[in-house]
Structure 1
Amino acid sequence: MLVAAETEKKGKIGVLIEDHFDQTEFHMFNDYFPKQGYEVEYITHLWGQDSLSFGGNPDDGDYNVAHVTVEKEVNDVSLDDYVGFICIGAYAMDRLRYQVNVKPGQKNNAPAVAFLRKAMAKEDLKLGTICHSLWLFCADKDLLAGRKVTCAHNIISDVENTGAEVIYDNDVTADLVVDGDLISGKHPGVTQEFMEKFIEEIEK
């Protein structure tokens, strides 16, 4: 857990995470949000453990991989304790979609997906995604149907298959899209702009 600097404490931002998270976003979240007065707390499904440790994806051949130990179980999250939640990029959100038991026609019952259903139903709670992290939302098409978003080019088809509208800027996806309580960023290269917009939306 990373605690905001001892200035004005404005609230807590929860970040959903698993193995193979994006290191750029991880480092920038840890630096920027506390400086703005917000505590960052990492959240995952702990599979009955007290804590789990995860590693990031190597960046540009750099194998000095960042690690984080998470103690907050997604099933135990109280939405009222947070001002917003972010799904971190890279492959972490694909891992959080995993469900042990599946049946034909049954909605995805992974704890993180069930959590998103509750979070999206709560009025005025801000949710943020970057790059591949819309994968978690794609586990239940009802979460994105009719919403305007942006994402990594790799997952455009996954997102559009939910009924979401991917916003384009000429021949690429848009850098940032705000659709009500949902703030989406294209890829880690727009992390700074994404964080600034996320705080702006929270503080409106």
Structure 2
Amino acid sequence: MALKGKKVAILIESDYFEPEIFYYQRRFQEEQADLHFLTRLWGQSSLTFKGHEWHIPFECRESFEGMSDDVLRSYSAIIVPSGMVADRLRYPTDVHQLAPATELLKRAFAEPTILKGIICHGMWLMSAVPEVVRGRRAVVNNNLIGDARNMGIDFVDQDLVVDRDLVTARTGDHAPIFARRIIDMLACQ
């Protein structure tokens, strides 16, 4: 009940890590968060994605495309999950523009009242805007350490790292400690 009235967004795409996403569904619901799964709908009313491990379908009906600043600021937290979600969401239609998900996160980083949670491979979404995370302390999946350092991130070899409004965790298997920290931080706001 600690999050009643708090809006939490979780980005979603194909190749999501099912245990992580299903954990968030239950855990944030248990805290009575107003939970929203957001994606790029490509003009569709909904899209169904398949998970990475068991290919479980997950339907999403909400888009972050065209989200106004007011709506963005209505979220208490935005979470970029593990797996290949970030890689799929960083696809730009026009190579001269940021992918909509990257643009959303760039705007969210300009709002210190929005907690940003990035786990495992999620930091890939920030690779086109390294200035947003440069100098921030964070952890990523072990095979992204070079990418993180190239973005100017101060890589910390821990399973969970908090740097002001940024919470990062090493892998999708760390979802319980990641979610716990986000819940605790939001409950104190």
TM-score, structure 2 length as denominator? 0.92
- Aligned-residue sequence identity (percent) comes to 29
Contact 1:18 1:95 in 2 (8 A): yes
Q: Which residue of 2 aligns with 1:162?
A: 151
Listed one character per residue, the Cα deviations across residues 76-133 of structure 1 (whole Å, up to 9, x for unaligned) are 4311321111001100110111112224xxxx51111111111110122101011111
Show structure 2 runs of 5+ residues with no match.
none
Q: Which residue of 1 aligns with 2:139?
A: 150
CA distance in 2, matches of 1:188, 1:15: 13
Q: Which residue of 2 aligns with 1:171?
A: none
Show structure 1 runs of 5+ residues with no match.
169-173
* 4+ residue runs over 4 A deviation: none
Cα offset for 1:199?
0.9
Cα distance change of structure 1 residues 182 and 8 upon mapping to structure 2, 3 Å threshold: closer
Listed one character per residue, the Cα deviations across residues 153-190 of structure 1 (whole Å, up to 9, x for unaligned) are 1111111101011102xxxxx11000000000111221
Aligned match of 1:47 in 42, 62, 70? 42
CA distance in 2, matches of 1:94, 1:33: 24
Q: Which residue of 2 aligns with 1:93?
A: 86
CA distance in 1, matches of 2:42, 2:149: 31
Kindly report which structure 2 residues correspond to 1:1-204, keeping only aligned pairs within 5 A, or say none.
9-58=4-53, 63=54, 65-77=55-67, 78-103=71-96, 108-168=97-157, 174-204=158-188
Contact 2:15 2:52 in 1 (8 A): yes
Cα offset for 1:8?
7.5
Cα offset for 1:26?
0.6
Contact 1:9 1:38 in 2 (8 A): yes
SS of the equivalent of 1:89 reads coil
Cα offset for 1:13?
0.6
Cα distance change of structure 1 residues 167 and 67 upon mapping to structure 2, 3 Å threshold: same
CA distance in 2, matches of 1:15, 1:131: 14
Cα offset for 1:9?
2.6
User: For the pair shown, which has the larger CA radius of gyration, 1 or 2?
Assistant: 1
Contact 2:9 2:77 in 1 (8 A): yes
Listed one character per residue, the Cα deviations across residues 19-40 of structure 1 (whole Å, up to 9, x for unaligned) are 1011111110011111011122
The total of aligned residue pairs comes to 185
**RMSD (Å), alpha carbons:** 1.6
Cα distance change of structure 1 residues 35 and 138 upon mapping to structure 2, 3 Å threshold: same
Cα offset for 1:45?
0.9
Listed one character per residue, the Cα deviations across residues 40-81 of structure 1 (whole Å, up to 9, x for unaligned) are 2110111111111111111xxxx3x32211111112431132
TM-score, structure 1 length as denominator? 0.85
CA distance in 1, matches of 2:3, 2:28: 12
More relative contact order in 1 or in 2 (CA 8 Å, sep 6+)?
2
Contact 1:138 1:144 in 2 (8 A): no
